Amino acid sequence: MTSDNPVTQAATPLARSFALIAGYMLLGVALFVTAEILARRFFNISLQGGDELGGYMLAILAAFGFSYALIERAHTRVEILIERVGPRIQAVLNIFSAWCIALMAVFMAWRAWATLMESVEYRSLSGTPLMTPLWQPQSLWFAGLLLFAGVALAAAVHATLLMLHDQHRLNRFYGVKTLEEVIEEETLTSESGMESAAR
Amino acid sequence: MIGVFGAAVGFLMMLGLMLTGLPVAVALFLTAFIGAWAFLGLPTLLSFGNQMWSGQNDFILTAIPLFIFLGEILVRSGVTDGLYRCLSDWLRRLPGGLLHTNIGASTFFSAVSGSSVATAATIGTVAMPIMKQRGYDARLTTGSIAAGATLGILLPPSINMIIYGSMTNTSIGQLFAAGVVPGLILAGLFMVLIAGVCILRPELAGPMLPARSWPEKIASLVDIIPPIVIFLIVMGTIYLGWATPTESAAIGVVCGLGVAIAKRRLSLSMMHECMISTVRISAMILLIMVAAHFLNFVIGVLGIPQALTGFVADVGAGPLQIILLLMVFYLVLGCFMETLSMMIATLPVVFPLVLHLGIDPVWFGIFLVVMMEIGLITPPIGMNLYVVQGVRGHGSIMDVIYGALPFVLLMLGFVGLLIVWPQMALWLPQRLF
Amino acid sequence: ASDTPLRVAGNFSQNITQVEIERTFFNGLSEATGVGISMNYNPMDVVGVKAPDALRMLRGGSFDVMSVQIGMASRDDPFFEGIDLIGVAPDMETLRKVVDAYREPFDQRLQERFNAKVLTLWPFGPQVFYCNHPLESVNDLRGLKVRSFTPSMSAMLESFGATPVTLQFSEVYPALQRGVASCGVTSPTSGNTGNWPEVTTHYLPMAVSGSVQGHFINLAAWNRFSPEEQEKLLAEFAKLEGEMWDLATNSSSNADACNTGQDECTDYRKFTMQMVQVTDADRERLKKIAESSVLPIWKQTCNAVDPQCSEIWNETAGAAAGLRID
Ligand code: NA
Ligand code: NA
């Protein structure tokens, strides 16, 4: 979704914050696991739980990242056919795609909620030495999936509205990324490295 | 439960859904959903939440975002620029000059990057301007970068190997070790190919770089230290038994931060850029994995792997025939599919067959990774081709495609070598583990 | 009448012997009982199902029958872990008494909370130590890094002065090889078929638990069978259970011999691990640890879910083993 897309504009602050939080959790796990290895190797102390926390982090990072990746149109699509059909068919395919993503996201959030409720009902504890109550990491995980469902649903509704009066914008907002956009993204990383090198 | 014919229909349906432009993850999920709905009933669908949690709450897969994060930190610290400059001094006399630097820099960067596309973007950005300025042949330049960068997933660390290992319960440490020798041999073959072409047609290469003074050359060696040290620490902690492969990724990130601090590039905004980018790329991969995990479940309960294994046994095909068949299958599929999705989507069906035929899972992992490397540089869908063309920013994509073609042929020959000489991959892991 | 479909998730395929017995049993179940069944059997890992999810999937009806690793599945109800707590049963004979005593309340609770019924309960075999570090007695576990997979095992290891390390099963072999862990705990047969003796040197056959497994059936699936059919099925499952107990008892001693390179070794791969003698004092110490740390911790966790928990245990399993939780 491009920057003048109202859905993107509305969702970006929240989705970006979620992604940043996930990034800090990743950093935290990297530091904790390194400390764990060093403590185990040199002091024969087992801090324990790095693998467990790492597992929760991964599930939460994924859930927190889905909506941001959606806004950035980063979810991989095969563009080979869709690029070769006329704008009208393209618009139909893009609507189909937007609704399929939305339904998948809603289904994920719904089943995640059911899983969370089961953990609450059974007061499930992780079967690991930390004995973490499972509802704790699963609540964060569910929150991420709920945001994903919300953003995906908003996008699908918006795409459907656009179908009525502005198919061009529909294809621009919800279509496959153009080659230029993909490349811009893939090289951004290196360029920022170059820029800082030049400074 | 479901025969080979039904499975083939399902597979074609999945490809069809992908062709409508659905995200790959959604196409996989929809296929699994329809299969479960039609044949397994509602309870199976409703168990998706617990399966999703168990599939994602997995420490082994934590290595994926960690290695992506490491790559982001290193690139934004400017490590690659220094690396390229240094190698261009040392390799300038070889026939083909800077073309060898492309391969060399790709090899070094591959040793710390888990992804080929990231390697292509990184090396391409550094190499393209200077090569154009010195009049190198556009096809050979772009081809060497696109092909050289594919080493990113063969030389450890490799995100694709982590996913393969976790999906097939194969030791990731052994897979990493198995990639080293083939990776170095393939890099060597790339250089031989470049040298051969440039000896026959010297006009394709630009004039030799002016020599720098020895003190300067020696001083610039400092720039190849970070990737080598990080590689040695990551692989060394695995080998010495300090850490599991996943844990070593965490150490890699901490080392990367050390490099960023040493290069005085670490800042809050740089850190945030790295994080956001890492989360975006990881989430994309992990959504595909969520869907693939569910598809794997449905395929397994439907008995498709057994059906396929039985079918192959009836036909009477041996391991060699199957491997050659898979080579053609992945070559064709690799033309049309993004390679990571290709591996994840096919493994649930292909791997039980491979195991049944008594093919070594570590060897097969390497075979699959090389086939994925080829897929990265075959049109029409070849991410490395597009990335290199994008960095280049002018001319026709056909230049890149033609430029990569000799490398594709070389790599197909290399797969043949891997088949007749499996020890190339298996020797090091057997020595180490 | 048409065949009743039965979707079965078997044990993990790395447990080669047990899975082979299971597979043969389920595929022959229809013929053996004369009950029309269309069988769909897959080991759990082949279909990508994780052990801790077993009870939830059983309750939801994703599978009709599941081979459940009770230790892992106790995540959703610590009561089930009570069937095989660390240090309670020093040998398979005692374990069988404990399991039989606990079966009734176990089944009742499974029916109430997870809509499923017990068909079999059986152990993998005594859980023993494989170490890559010289060892003369249990006391030498002090200071070693030992792979742990349950809270109560960690409590036991800490009482021995060892450092518990958490690792996924697939990581244990390389971890032992490279010294990330000094010891792993598993059954004599599983360790042998998993080639653990390749990467370890000292073998300590002190049984800390039995790794009890079970076959459970979803109640809706169970009620699709007529009472006569149910009776026939129960009789067959009882045979399966007996076979699994025999396997755990007999093959364990043979695997002991094979792991340590003795002449009696016939059924498994022969290795040359050094046998560490377990004394009565060692067993006594394990029992003390069970009483002082494992059981109280379990009581705390289990009674938080159901205050009756430890009382039921005392009357059944505890009475069979001669232990009490106060
Ligand atoms: Na790499
Ligand atoms: Na391709």
pLDDT, tens digit only, all 199 positions of chain A = 456 888 888 888 999 999 999 999 999 999 999 998 888 778 767 677 888 899 999 999 999 999 999 998 888 777 778 888 888 888 999 999 999 999 999 999 999 999 999 999 999 988 777 788 999 999 999 999 999 999 999 999 999 998 888 888 888 888 877 666 665 665 554 444 434 333 3
C65 with C222: CB under 8 angstroms? no
**Nearest in space to C40 (alpha carbons), one of A149, B41, B346:** B41
Of C75, C143, C145, the CB nearest to A40: C145
Chains that touch C (3 or more CB pairs under 8 A): A, B
Give chain A positions within 8 Å (CB) of C168: 51
| Residue from B151, B126, B344, B145 nearest B231 by CA | B151
Q: Which residues of chain B have pLDDT under 70?
A: 1, 336, 380, 433
Residue C232 sits at the chain A interface (C-beta within 8 Å)? no
Examine residue B338 and state whether it is found in any structural domain, yes or no: yes
CB nearest to C166's CB, from A51, A123, A125: A51
Tokens of A185: 């993204």
Mean residue pLDDT across chain C: 90
Count of B-C CB contacts under 8 Å = 75
Q: Does B34 fall in a domain?
A: no
* pLDDT for residue A196: 37
Please answer yes or no on whether C148 and A129 come within 8 Å at the CB atom.
yes
Q: How far is the CA of B337 from the centre of ligand 2 (A)?
A: 6
Q: Which ligand is nearest to the CA of B146?
A: 2
- Ligand minimally distant from the alpha carbon of residue B382: 2
- Tell me whether C160 touches chain A (CB under 8 Å): no
Query: In sequence order, which ranges of B243-360 are alpha helices (DSSP H)?
Result: 245-262, 268-301, 304-315, 319-336, 339-356
What is the reported pLDDT for C260?
Answer: 92
Domain total for chain B?
1
Which residue did the predictor score with more confidence, C15 or A97?
Answer: A97
Check residue A190 and give its pLDDT: 46
Q: Which of A108-117, C38-47, C142-151 has the highest mean pLDDT?
A: A108-117
* pLDDT score of C193 more than 50: yes
- Identify which ligand lies nearest to the alpha carbon of B341: 2
Cα of C48 to nearest chain B Cα, Å: 6
Whether chain A has a CB inside 8 Å of the CB on C133: the answer is: no
Q: Å from B46 to nearest chain A CA? A: 7
Residue B186 CA, ligand 1 centroid: distance in Å? 14
What is the Cα–Cα distance from B278 to C98, expressed in whole angstroms?
Answer: 52
Tally Cβ neighbours within 10 Å of residue A84: 9
Whole-number Å distance, alpha carbon B75 to ligand 1 midpoint, is: 14
Q: Do C151 and A128 touch (CB under 8 A)?
A: yes
Report how far ligand 2's centroid is from the alpha carbon of B349 (Å): 21
From residue B296, give the alpha-carbon distance in Å to each of A62, B102, B277, C14, C245: 19, 39, 29, 19, 33
Any domain includes B315: yes
- Whole-Å CA distances, A31 to A27, A28, A45, B249, B389: 6, 5, 16, 11, 38
Residue B302: CB partners within 8 Å, gap ≥ 6? B1, B2, B7, B35, B39, B40
Residues, beta carbon < 5 Å, ion ligand 2: B 334-335, 375, 378, 381-382
The answer to whether residue C180 scores a pLDDT higher than 50 is yes
Which residue, among B415, B281, B302, has the nearest Cα to B349 in the 3D structure?
A: B302
Please give the share of chain C, as a percent, with pLDDT higher than 90: 52
Residue-number span of the structural domain to which B265 is assigned: 59-432
Is the pTM above the cut of 0.90? no
Considering every ligand atom shown, identify the ligand nearest to the alpha carbon of residue B338 and give its number: 2
Q: Which residue of A has its CA nearest to C305?
A: A123
Put simply, the answer to whether B301 touches C7 (Cβ < 8 Å) is yes
For the CA of B118, the nearest ligand: 1
Q: Which of C75, C145, C304 sits opposite A127 (nearest CB)?
A: C75
Domain ranges of chain A: 6-198
For residues C65 and B68, the model is more confident at C65
What pLDDT is stored for residue A182 in this prediction? 61
In A43-134, where does DSSP find H-type helix?
Answer: 50-71, 87-122
CB interface of B with A, residues 87-126, below 8 Å? 117-118, 120-122, 124-126
Residue B198 lies in a domain: yes
Residue C170: band (very low, low, confident or very high) from pLDDT cuts 50, 70, 90: low
CB pairs under 8 A between A and B: 262
CA atoms within 13 A on the CB side of A138: 27
Name the minimum distance, in Å, from the CA of A165 to any CA of chain B.
Answer: 22
Residue B279's pLDDT is: 93
Domain presence at residue B394: yes
Query: Would you state the pLDDT for residue A194?
Result: 39
Distances in Å between the Cα of B176 and the Cα atoms of B71, B354, C51, C232 are 17, 20, 28, 52
**CA pair distance C80, C73, nearest whole angstrom:** 8
Q: Is C120 left (phi over 0), alpha (psi -120 to 50) or beta?
A: beta
Q: Which residues of A touch C71 (CB under 8 A)?
A: 127
Residue B19 lies in a domain: no
What are the DSSP E strand ranges found in chain A? none
Q: What angle do CA B332, B294, C224 make, to 5 degrees?
A: 130
- Min Cα–Cα distance to chain C from B224, Å: 29
Q: C174 contacts in B (CB within 8 Å)?
A: 171, 173-174, 244, 433
